[in-house]
Amino acid sequence: MDANKFSCFVDLCEKIRSSTSKNEKVSILSAYLSILDESSLPIVVLFLSGNIFPKGSRLNLNLGFSTIMHSLSEIATLEPKEIQQIYLKHGDMGALTEYAVSRKYIIPLLQQQEQLTLSNVYARLKKIASATGSGSGKNKTKILKGLLISCSPIEAKYLVKIINSEMRIGLVEGLIELAIAKAFACNIKDVREAMLLYADISYVSILAKNGSLRTTIMGPLTPFGFMLADTMFTVEEIANYYQKPLICEYNYDGIRVQMHKSKGVIRAFSRKLDDITSTFPELVNAAATSTSSLTSSSDCDFILDGEILAFKNDRPLLFQHLQKRLHKKNVTKKIIDEIPVIYAVYDILYFGEEQVIKKPLIQRKQILSNIQFKKPIINASYKIVHLVEEMAAMFAESRNKGHEGLILKDPDSQYQLGKRGRYWMKLKTELDTIDAVIVMAEYGHGKRAGTLSDYTFAVRDDSNNSKLRTIGKAYSGLSTKK
């Protein structure tokens, strides 16, 4: 058996899916990982963690539902309407694909065609992601069809599950980390520490295989987990908990972003560690011209943590304005003028050639104060507060300026990669409940197949009592019990 064959990977997935024991899942996976070569190992852990490309990669398949449906209808003796009905019944694109490919009437030219390997599948997916420009849609479809034709029905099932990031075999990333540690006789703590630094499980798996986990250090251009804040709802609760002066900042209603700069190369990563650099060209230009008085050269490398928010006429715009810009593939000057942004920087994690996450926050703030940013990058202002009255006044000030509330931080705190804790605390007011109407629902998939899910809510328009205005959707937190 060649473990690097795609069929072997599919067999693995079926075994893991069939097991109800977490320990057994880890054992099955660790045994498989231990016999993979260095080309297949990173592919396997990416696929199993619900990704195709490493976090922070600029590659994206951009294969929509309709493209997959169209490809299936072309290679199988099924009408598009019939495919739609099967999908609604099963609620799972993988199950639909398995059925459709079992009915395929297009046969590979070479009946004795060599079996697909993991590397071959990955190379074709990468080719799909790299297709751009005129005719790229047809090229993507052609490559996808070629892959599906080369697959057995069960292989096609998992191929589409990989494409849609919907493996659903009961294997979360934490179990994959345990399997990596077991496969290569590593300490699970070292695996998880490396994951916090790199957030790229494919790279961490290779480090584990080579016994190099403890050599990992933070560096620019590789995203990692953000430090997260807990929440309290009164200034009295926060003051009583900390019993010390705190750094107090506005809580911005934008998107959390790491900005990396290294030798003139600049990258911006979202909280999900997606590369969003091309969405904000004005921030890239501003970062390129930033300087510091603390370095021998006026230029400086860094990793910043902060918030991007839509900002116009000295006021933050509603988050919906920023969302419009995030969904644009081509950010023109017109869009930049219509939805201007600022990047409010409140922390620094790497400076010059040194990681500074172990330094107290107040020292990191001092380093930040010596960097001269060009607009629209700004150094977020803060105050040192202690009294309840000071916190309450700054909370009111934040709300008056259009922000969400406050973030209060322990001045002595180190930066906790990828962790939520009480070193940082959000101060928010509790929201009132509202009466809303469900105006739309979508068919569920997976465990919710055959039920209506993903509800869209609306409320009455004050200016026209007979009219409804949609306000949002509910995706999670809904029970499947009847």
Three-state SS at 344: strand
Per-residue pLDDT at 74: 85
Kindly write down the DSSP assignment for every residue of 305-316, as one continuous string.
Answer: EEEEEEEETTEE
Which residue type does 150 have? S
44 φ, ψ to 5°? Answer: -60, -50
Residue 373, Cα to own-chain centre: how many angstroms?
27
Per-residue pLDDT at 96: 87
CA neighbours within 13 Å on the CB side: how many for 449?
Answer: 14
Per-residue pLDDT at 112: 46
d(Cα 370, Cα 287) in Å, to the nearest integer?
A: 14
Per-residue pLDDT at 111: 47
Alpha helices in 106-172 (DSSP H): 118-130, 136-150, 153-163
CB neighbourhood size of 66 (10 A): 9
Q: What is the pLDDT of residues 317-326, one digit of tens each?
A: 999 899 989 8
Three-state SS at 95: helix
Token couple for 31: 């045994």
Q: What is the pLDDT of residues 147-203, one digit of tens each?
A: 999 999 999 999 999 999 999 999 999 999 999 999 999 999 999 999 998 889 999
Residue 301, Cα to own-chain centre: how many angstroms?
24
Helix (H) or strand (E) holding 270: strand 265-270
Q: For Cα atoms 97, 98, 101, give the angle at the middle one, nearest 5 degrees.
A: 80
DSSP at 444: B
User: Residues for the chain: how many in total?
Assistant: 482
| Better pLDDT: 460 or 126 | 126
Q: Is the pLDDT of residue 103 over 70?
A: yes
Four-residue CA torsion sign, 468, 474, 93, 42: positive
Own/partner contacts of 282-288, CB < 8 Å, gap of 24 or more, are 282/336, 282/341, 282/376, 283/259, 283/308, 283/341, 283/343, 283/376, 283/377, 285/374, 286/343, 286/373, 286/374, 286/375, 286/376, 286/377, 287/259, 287/261, 287/373, 287/377, 288/261, 288/264
Question: Exposed, middle or buried: residue 70 (CB in 10 Å: 0-12, 13-18, 19+)?
Answer: middle
Q: What is the pLDDT of residues 461-476, one digit of tens each?
A: 877 677 888 877 776 6
Per-residue pLDDT at 306: 98
Kindly write down the DSSP assignment for every residue of 356-393, as one continuous string.
Answer: -TTS-HHHHHHHHHTEEPPTTEEE---EEE-SHHHHHH
Mean pLDDT of 295-305: 80
pLDDT mean across residues, the chain: 89
d(Cα 154, Cα 98) in Å, to the nearest integer?
A: 6
- Could you give all domains of the chain from N- to C-terminal order, each with its CATH number? 51-163 (1.10.3260.10), 228-427 (3.30.470.30), 437-474 (no CATH)
Helix (H) or strand (E) holding 192: helix 188-198
Token couple for 267: 């990258």
Q: Going by DSSP bridges, is the β-strand pair 228-232/420-427 parallel, antiparallel, or unpaired?
A: parallel
Q: What is the pLDDT of residues 337-388, one digit of tens each?
A: 999 999 999 999 999 889 999 999 999 999 999 999 999 999 999 999 989 9
Confidence tier at 208 by pLDDT (50, 70, 90): very high
Q: Going by DSSP bridges, is the β-strand pair 437-443/291-292 parallel, antiparallel, or unpaired?
A: unpaired
d(Cα 150, Cα 298) in Å, to the nearest integer?
A: 56
Q: Is the pLDDT of residue 232 over 90?
A: yes
Q: Is the pLDDT of residue 481 over 60?
A: no
Q: Is the pLDDT of residue 242 over 80?
A: yes
101 φ, ψ to 5°? Answer: -70, -25
Question: Exposed, middle or buried: residue 208 (CB in 10 Å: 0-12, 13-18, 19+)?
Answer: buried
Tell me the chain's radius of gyration from C-alpha atoms. 25
Mean pLDDT of 293-309: 83
List Cα–Cα distances, 227 to 213, 257, 305, 425, in angstroms.
22, 12, 9, 11
Q: Going by DSSP bridges, is the β-strand pair 464-474/452-461 parallel, antiparallel, or unpaired?
A: antiparallel
Determine contact, residues 43/6, Cβ cutoff 8 Å: no
Buried b (16+ CB within 10 A) or exposed e, 216-234: bebbbbbbbbbbebeebee
130 φ, ψ to 5°? Answer: -85, -10
